[in-house]
């Protein structure tokens, strides 16, 4: 009989400067301003999760999420953390939106449950340990500088580069042209417009990019315009991946029904593991392959994301390079990078934690009964 209950929850603010600041179509990023949630039980086992609040993606900030996390924590105290379906159903029942805040608790619950089961998270989810291959991302900048960065990534052993675009047709085409010249024909180029184009510009730009063998394009137009996304897809030989337009399984169903995209980009900050599994199931049912992407997470959240990729063969792409851009690594355990390869641990849970000497210095609120 299960007698595990939640006794207290710690909520931390974690701020890490980026060693590689970068620009996308709508913003410039210099810091990872994240949250850590640690769920404790009466047995002494705890689960830990991380989230990245993002004003343009999840609609929140670190401070607003810090407050919301305290609200969520008060509703979890005294409950069974192993009943994940019930806990997430309750959470979604009393709180709309705020997906980043929810995702930190979601991750901690899965970590805790897998630890109690004595299983690595990928096995707890019914999968096996697979080596994951990630791309490496280049922010928007001068085309020549971006081409140099791409060549450096290839020298480091990456077989795929992700290129941020979304400014205007001529500049974006020049960026991809110079990158292709710099890295040759055997390296995959993935592009991400981050909603930066209108429908006409997207169609014209993707048409002009056809000679450069682009693997896929993420979110070419504004996230609410699924009809526009469908028009872009219908007029592009480059496959289209939904990102900001897909937060949960309802979005996945709508996009699949509308034939608006070729791929789904699942991010834990948008969906959490619980909803991510449903998104992938919708994709698998509709014949749509998936990717798991990232924002500016540490290796803690990326470890959980890698376990998810490993557990679901329908997830064929991984964009899990964010820790490579952080100026500090506060994480112990968890995934290990070997060039482009991500090695997943076989320890119970997702295997990652925040080093005690680091977490002890963070701003924290503890919620108890």
The full DSSP string for 278-342 is HHHHHHHHHT-EEEE--SS--HHHHHHHHHHHHH-TTEEEE---GGGGBS---EEES-EEETTEE
C-alpha span between 336 and 330 (Å, rounded):
13
pLDDT at 44: 93
Intra-chain end-to-end CA distance of the chain, in Å: 23
pLDDT at 3: 63
User: Over the stretch 294-303, which tens digit does the pLDDT of each residue have?
Assistant: 999 999 999 9
User: Over the stretch 197-215, which tens digit does the pLDDT of each residue have?
Assistant: 999 999 999 999 999 999 9
- Decide: 103 and 268 in contact? Cβ < 8 Å: yes
| Stretch 312-324: mean pLDDT | 98
Whether the predicted pLDDT of 352 surpasses 50: yes
CA 311 to chain centre: 16
Whether the predicted pLDDT of 315 surpasses 90: yes
| Phi, psi angle pair for 8, to nearest 5° | -160, 160
Domain boundaries, given as residue ranges, for the chain: 6-118+355-368, 124-353
- Tell me the whole-structure pTM to 2 decimals: 0.96
CA 113 to chain centre: 21
What length is written for the chain? Answer: 369
pLDDT at 56: 87
C-alpha span between 178 and 261 (Å, rounded):
27
Fold type of domain 6-118+355-368: Enolase-like; domain 1 (3.30.390)
User: Over the stretch 81-116, which tens digit does the pLDDT of each residue have?
Assistant: 999 999 999 999 999 999 999 999 999 999 999 999
User: Over the stretch 115-133, which tens digit does the pLDDT of each residue have?
Assistant: 999 999 999 999 999 989 9
| Phi, psi angle pair for 193, to nearest 5° | -85, -10
Whether the predicted pLDDT of 22 surpasses 90: yes
Instruction: Give the residue numbers marked as catalytic.
Output: 164, 192, 218, 243, 267
Whether the predicted pLDDT of 166 surpasses 50: yes
- CA nearest neighbour of 132 among 268, 318, 3, 264: 318
What residues contact residue 14 under an 8 Å CB cut-off, 6+ apart? 32, 33, 34, 35, 36, 50, 298, 330, 354, 362
The full DSSP string for 29-86 is EEEEEEEEEEEEETTS-EEEEEE---TTTTS--HHHHHHHHHHHHHHHTTS-TT-HHH
The CATH code of domain 124-353 reads: 3.20.20.120
**pLDDT cut 70: percent of the chain above it:** 99
C-alpha span between 363 and 159 (Å, rounded):
39
pLDDT at 1: 42
């Amino acid at each position: 009989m299960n007698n595990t209950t939640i006794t207290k929850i710690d909520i931390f603010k974690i701020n890490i400067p980026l060693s590689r600041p970068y620009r996308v179509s709508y913003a410039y990023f210099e810091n990872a301003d994240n949250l850590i949630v640690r769920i404790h039980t009466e047995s002494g086992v705890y689960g830990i999760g991380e989230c990245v609040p993002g004003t343009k993606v999840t609609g929140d900030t670190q401070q607003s999420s810090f407050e919301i996390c305290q609200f969520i924590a008060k509703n979890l105290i005294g409950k069974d953390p192993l009943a994940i379906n019930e806990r997430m159903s309750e959470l979604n029942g009393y709180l709309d939106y705020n997906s980043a805040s929810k995702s930190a608790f979601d991750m901690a619950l899965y970590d805790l449950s897998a630890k109690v089961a004595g299983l690595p998270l990928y096995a707890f989810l019914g999968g096996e340990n697979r080596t994951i291959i990630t791309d490496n991302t280049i922010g928007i900048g001068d085309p020549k500088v971006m081409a140099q960065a791409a060549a450096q990534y290839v020298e480091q052993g990456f077989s795929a580069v992700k290129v941020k675009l979304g400014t205007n047709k001529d500049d974006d085409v020049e960026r991809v042209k110079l990158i292709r010249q710099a890295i040759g024909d055997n390296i995959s180029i993935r592009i991400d417009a981050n909603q930066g184009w209108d429908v006409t510009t997207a169609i014209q730009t993707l048409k002009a990019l056809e000679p450069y063998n682009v693997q896929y394009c993420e979110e070419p137009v504004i996230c609410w315009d699924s009809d526009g996304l469908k028009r872009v897809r219908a007029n592009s030989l480059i496959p289209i991946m939904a990102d900001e337009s897909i937060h949960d399984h309802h979005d996945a169903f709508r996009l699949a029904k509308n034939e608006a995209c070729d791929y789904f980009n699942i991010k834990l900050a948008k969906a959490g593991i619980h909803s991510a599994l449903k998104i992938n199931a919708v994709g698998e049912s509709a014949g749509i392959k998936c990717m798991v992407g990232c924002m500016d997470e540490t290796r803690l959240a990326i470890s959980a994301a890698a376990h998810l990729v490993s557990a679901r063969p329908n997830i064929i792409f991984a964009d899990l390079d964010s820790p490579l851009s952080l100026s500090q690594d506060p994480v112990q355990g968890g995934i290990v990078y070997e060039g482009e390869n991500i090695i997943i641990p076989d320890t119970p849970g997702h295997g990652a934690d925040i080093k005690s000497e680091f977490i002890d210095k963070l701003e924290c609120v503890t919620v108890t009964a």
